[in-house]
Amino acid sequence: MPIARVTRRVHFCAGHRVYNSDLDDEQNRSIYGACSNPHGHGHNYELEVTVEGEIDPQVGYVMDLRRLKGLLEDEVLADLDHANLNVDVEWLADVVPTTENLAVAIWNRLAGRIDGARLASVRLWETERNSAEYRGG
Amino acid sequence: MPIARVTRRVHFCAGHRVYNSDLDDEQNRSIYGACSNPHGHGHNYELEVTVEGEIDPQVGYVMDLRRLKGLLEDEVLADLDHANLNVDVEWLADVVPTTENLAVAIWNRLAGRIDGARLASVRLWETERNSAEYRGG
Amino acid sequence: MPIARVTRRVHFCAGHRVYNSDLDDEQNRSIYGACSNPHGHGHNYELEVTVEGEIDPQVGYVMDLRRLKGLLEDEVLADLDHANLNVDVEWLADVVPTTENLAVAIWNRLAGRIDGARLASVRLWETERNSAEYRGG
Amino acid sequence: MPIARVTRRVHFCAGHRVYNSDLDDEQNRSIYGACSNPHGHGHNYELEVTVEGEIDPQVGYVMDLRRLKGLLEDEVLADLDHANLNVDVEWLADVVPTTENLAVAIWNRLAGRIDGARLASVRLWETERNSAEYRGG
Amino acid sequence: MPIARVTRRVHFCAGHRVYNSDLDDEQNRSIYGACSNPHGHGHNYELEVTVEGEIDPQVGYVMDLRRLKGLLEDEVLADLDHANLNVDVEWLADVVPTTENLAVAIWNRLAGRIDGARLASVRLWETERNSAEYRGG
Amino acid sequence: MPIARVTRRVHFCAGHRVYNSDLDDEQNRSIYGACSNPHGHGHNYELEVTVEGEIDPQVGYVMDLRRLKGLLEDEVLADLDHANLNVDVEWLADVVPTTENLAVAIWNRLAGRIDGARLASVRLWETERNSAEYRGG
C-alpha cells in the first residue's frame, strides 16, 4: 500500500517568559533579551503535527484527521490554550519554554498515543516568521 | 486632489489577562472565562492603522508609510511589544485589556501625532479570527 | 462611550451548484458556466460577521466574541457546515446559492439575534479571491 | 432589492522606481529613500476591486465576478503584469508610481467600464503590510 | 550542478462525499461522520507539486514553473476544478476521495509526464488545517 | 540531546529581469517569456532559512533566531532589499536571477557564517505560488 503523510494544524494562545531559573536575571536578560521580560508576553501558536503510514485500502485514511484533532485537543490544547507555559502546565515543569523545547515536549506527549501510524513531525510556529520542528531524532 | 486612504500593518507579541480589578475573581471568571486565567496568556497582535487625506500632487503620498511605520514603532510598539499589557504600560493603566479597549487606547495615543492627514481607523487583530476596530466615533 | 466594531471570522465547508430552477439547463449554463455543473462542487467558505456598538465601560466589550462565535455555530454553521446548500438547508430553500444571496440569508438569520449591539456587516468569502458583503441596506 | 458589494482580488508582479522626474536625484532620495534606488525594484501587488449594486433577483449576482475578473485582466493586468510601471505603461505616463497614485489610475481605467453596478473601491496592496485605497472621492 | 527543488501551488474548487460504495450507509456514517453526508459538500483545494533535479547551468531552471503550471492545468485542473470528485472524473473512478487517495491519484497522473526532473512530492490541502502528502513511496 | 530544526522567515522586495546575457534577446524571450521583459519587473520575496542542530540543554535553543535574523539582515537583506538583482549585487554578478539560482547563491552566502548549527535549507518564494529550495546537495 502507498505510504503517505497527513498533517493537522491547530492553534492555541499562551503566555510565556523565556527564562532559565538556574541562571540569574542578568544572565537571562543577556541570553534572551526582551523575551525574558519579567512579566511575560505571549503568542498565537500554530502547531502542525504530521503522521506517516500506509493508506488503509478500505477507508482511504492514514489516520482519521478528526481523531488526530481530538487527540491534540485532549492531550495538548486542553493544557496549553490560554495557559501560562511557565507555571500552569505540569508536563512543562522544568522546561525553558523556547519553541524548540516546546516542540520536543509536545512530541513526547503524543508519541505513545498514535496507533496505526508513526508520528513523523511536530512543527511549532511561535509567530508567522519563527518555527521549530522536531522529528524525534 | 483625490482623497485616498493608506494603511500600515505592524505586529507585536504581548501578554495579557482579561480582568477587571473592580470585580472579584469569580465575577471575572464568569464574564471572561479562560481569558481571565490568573497567570495570563498572550497573542501575536496585528495592528492596522489607516490614515486618510489628499494625495500630495508632487510627492504622490497621502503620508509616507515609512513615517507612519516609524510613528507606530516609537509610540506603540516600543511600549507594547514583548510587554505584559496589564502591568508594563503606563498609558494602559486602568484599561481592561480587551481588544476594543486596546484599539481605543492606541487611537488616543496616535490621534495628535499625525500631521497632514486624518487618522481614519485603528483595527487590532487579537487572533486571525477576532478583531476590533475604532474609528474615533 | 466610544463606539467600536468587533469582527469574528468562522469557516465552513459546503457544496453547491449555482443554478436557478426557474431557468432551463442551457440558460443556467449560459449564465453561470462551470459553476452550474450538474453534480455540483464546493468551497471552504470564510464568514466574517461584524457588530457595532458602545463599549461596555465595565466589561470592555462591544459584545463577547465567544458569544458571537456560539451564535454563529448554532444558527449558521450547524446548518451549513458539510452541507449541500442547494438541498440540505431549510432557510436556503428557493435561494440561488450565489455568494451575494448567501450573505443576505445569513444576515437575515442573525439580525434578530444580536442583543446589545447592532449587526453591521456580513462578509462571505467563497474563495480567497471572491467575496460578497451585505450591510443590511 | 438588497444592495451588496462584491470584491475580486487579482495579483500582478511589476517593477517600479518611486521617482519624480520634476525633482533632482538628491530630492528624490531625500523624499523616497531606498524606494528611489536608481535601478528599481518591484513587488507582488494584490489588487482588490469592489463593486456595489442591487442583487439581480433572477440571477443572484450584483455582477458576475468572472466578468469583473476578465475586465481586470484585459484592462489592468495585461498592461501591468511583468511590466516596469515607470516606462512600459501608456496610461501611467507622468504618474509617480506610488501605491496611492496607482490606485487612482486603476480606478480611472475601470470607472467607465462597469455596467449595471457602481465601482465602490480600488484597494492596492504593495506588500502584505502596505496598502492604499481609493473610493473615487 | 546543484540539485534543487521547485514547487508550484495551484488551487481548484471541487465537491465530494467521503463514501466507500463497498460499505453500507451506516458503516460510512460511522467511519466518515459528516464527511459522508448524502448530498456532498466541497472544498477549495490547494495543490503543491514539487519536482527535484539539477539546475540547468545555462537556463537556471530545474524546470520552467510555467511549464509545470501548464501541465497541472491540463492534466489535473481541467478535470477536477468545479467537478464532483465522486462522479465526474474518469481517473478517480473507484477512488474514495480522501485527501490521501487524491494525492496518490494526482501523483500517478503526473509521474510519467515530467521530463528532465523527478517528481518529488504531491501535497494536497483540503482546508488550511488538513493536508496529505505523497512522495511516491 | 534532541536534534531540532529552526526556521526564520524574512522578506525583501527586489527587481529583476530573467535574462541570460550569453544568449540573444530572441533566445531569452523564447526561454523566459514575459519574465525577460526588457525593463524588468519585481517581487516581494519571502526567504525561509532552516538550521539544524542539537538543542543546547541550558539555553533551550538550536540557535538564537534573533541572531539568525541579524545574520540574514546583514548578509542578505542589506544587499537584496530594494535592489535590482541583475545589476546592484556584487555576489550575484553572472547569476541569472531565477529563484533556483538565488536560493543557491543565498546558501553560499550563509554557509560559512552559521556557528554551532548546520545550515539545512534555503527556500525562496518568488510569489505565493512559486518557490525553490536548496539543501546544499
How close B119 comes to chain C (CA, Å)?
A: 15
Contacts of E135 in chain A (CB under 8 A): 5
Domains and CATH numbers, chain E: 3-134 (3.30.479.10)
Residues of C within 8 A of E44 (CB-CB) are 43-44, 127-128
- Rounded Cα distance between C120 and B137, Å, is 15
Q: D132 has which bridge partners?
A: B6, D124
As given in the structure block, the three cell numbers for residue F46 are: 519571502
Whether the predicted pLDDT of A81 surpasses 90: yes
pLDDT tens readout for residues A5-35: 999 999 999 999 999 999 999 999 999 999 9
Answer yes or no: is pLDDT of B137 > 90.
no
Q: What is the largest CA-CA distance in chain A?
A: 60
CB contact under 8 A, E14 and C87: no
In total, the C-beta contacts within 8 angstroms joining chain B to chain C are 56
Looking at the predicted structure, is the pLDDT value of residue C137 above 90?
A: no
Percentage of the residues of chain A whose pLDDT score is greater than 90:
98
Q: Is D34 in contact with F128 (Cβ distance < 8 A)? A: no
Q: Which of B5, B9, B61 sits opposite D129 (nearest CB)?
A: B9
> How close F11 comes to chain D (CA, Å)?
10
Q: Is the pLDDT of residue D128 over 90?
A: yes
Cβ of residue C22 closer than 8 Å to a chain D Cβ: yes
Q: Give the three cell numbers for residue E38.
A: 448524502
pLDDT for F35-63, tens place per residue? 999 999 999 999 999 999 999 999 999 99
Rg value, chain C, Cα: 17
Mean pLDDT of D33-61: 97
Where chain E has pLDDT below 50, the residues are none
Which residue in chain C has the smallest CA separation from E82? C41
The answer to whether D46 is a known catalytic residue is no
Rg (CA), chain F: 17
pLDDT digits (tens, 9 = 90+) for B30-65: 999 999 999 999 999 999 999 999 999 999 999 999
Cα–Cα distances in angstroms (integers) from residue E103 to residues A57, A67, D110, in the given order: 14, 20, 41
- Cβ of D60 within 8 Å of Cβ of C101? The answer is yes
Residues in chain C: 137
Q: Helix or strand or coil: residue A49? A: strand
Listed in sequence order, the DSSP H helices in chain B are 25-32, 65-72, 78-80, 99-110
Contact status of D46 with chain F (Cβ, < 8 Å): no
Q: What's the rounded Cα separation, in Å, for the pair F132 and E4?
A: 7
Q: Summarize the confidence of residues A88-101 as an average pLDDT.
A: 97
CA distance F121 to A126: 19
Neighbours of B30 (CB within 10 A): 11
Contact exists between C and B (3 or more beta carbon pairs < 8 Å): yes
Distance of CA A4 to the CA centre of its chain: 22
CA nearest neighbour of A91 among A100, A81, A82, A80: A80
CA-based nearest distance E28→chain C, Å = 15
Q: Which pLDDT score, from 0 to 100, does residue D137 have?
A: 85
Q: Which residues on chain A are in Cβ contact (under 8 Å) with F55?
A: 98, 100-101, 104
Q: Over range D114-129, report the average pLDDT.
A: 97
Mean pLDDT of C65-72: 97
| Chains A and E: 3 or more CB pairs within 8 Å of each other | yes
Contact F119, F103 (CB under 8 A): no
pLDDT at site D94? 92
The mean predicted confidence, pLDDT, of chain A is 97
Measured between alpha carbons, how far is B42 from B50 in angstroms, rounded to an integer? Answer: 25
Q: Does F132 contact E4 at a Cβ distance shorter than 8 Å?
A: yes
Exposure string (b/e) for A64-101, b if CB count within 10 Å is 16 or more?
Answer: bbeebbebbeeebbebbbbbbbbebbeebeeebbbbbb
CA-CA distance, A49 to A120, in Å (whole number)? 8
3-state SS string over chain C? CCEEEEEEEEEEEEEECCCCCCCCHHHHHHHHHHHHCCCCEEEEEEEEEEEEEECCCCCCCCCCHHHHHHHHHHHHHHHHCCEECCCCCHHHCCCCCCHHHHHHHHHHHHHHHCCCCEEEEEEEECCCCEEEEECCC
Would you call E26 a catalytic residue per the annotation? no
In residues, how long is chain F?
137
CA distances B64 to B54, B67, B121, C43, D121, Å, are 12, 5, 17, 39, 21
The single residue listed with the C-alpha cell 466541497 is E42
| Active site (catalytic) residues of C | 35, 82, 126
> Strand ranges (DSSP E) for F1-137?
3-16, 41-54, 83-84, 118-125, 130-134
B14, B84 in Cβ contact below 8 A? yes
To the nearest whole Å, the CA of C34 is away from the closest chain B CA by 31
Spacing of C-alpha A66 from chain mean position: 18
Average pLDDT value for residue range D98-122: 97
pLDDT over 90 at F137, yes or no: no
For chains D and E, tell me whether 3 or more CB atom pairs sit within 8 A of each other.
no
Chains interfacing with C (3 or more CB pairs < 8 Å): B, D, E
Quick one: pLDDT at residue C112? 93
For residue B52, the surrounding DSSP H or E stretch is strand B41-54
What does each C-alpha distance from C50 to B90, C79, C122, E130 come to in angstroms?
31, 20, 7, 27
DSSP string, E28-64: HHHHHGGGG-TT-EEEEEEEEEEEEEEPPTTT--SS-
Residues of chain E with C-beta less than 8 angstroms from the C-beta of A6:
99-100, 130-133
**Mean pLDDT for the stretch of residues F6-27:** 96
Distance in angstroms (rounded) separating the CA atoms of residues F105 and F136: 11
Name which of B9, B10, B55 is nearest D100 (Cβ-Cβ): B55
* A86 pLDDT higher than 90: yes
Return the H-helix or E-strand segment holding D123: strand D118-125
Determine contact, residues B132/C62, Cβ cutoff 8 Å. yes
The full DSSP string for D13-66 is EEEE----TTS-HHHHHHHHGGGG-TT-EEEEEEEEEEEEEEPPTTT--SS-HH
User: CA-to-CA distance for A55 and A62, rounded, in angstroms?
Assistant: 4
What pLDDT digit, counting tens, does each position of C80-127 carry?
999 999 999 999 999 999 999 999 999 999 999 998 999 999 999 999
Which of B:49-108 have CB within 8 Å of C?
Answer: 95-101, 103-104
Kindly list the residues from chain F whose CB atom is less than 8 angstroms away from the CB atom of residue D35.
Answer: 82
Name the percent of chain B lying above pLDDT 70: 100
Q: What is the pLDDT of residue E62?
A: 98
**Are D60 and C129 in contact (CB < 8 Å)?**
no
Active-site residue (options: F26, F35, F75, F128):
F35
Q: Which of D11, D90, D126, D128 is catalytic?
A: D126
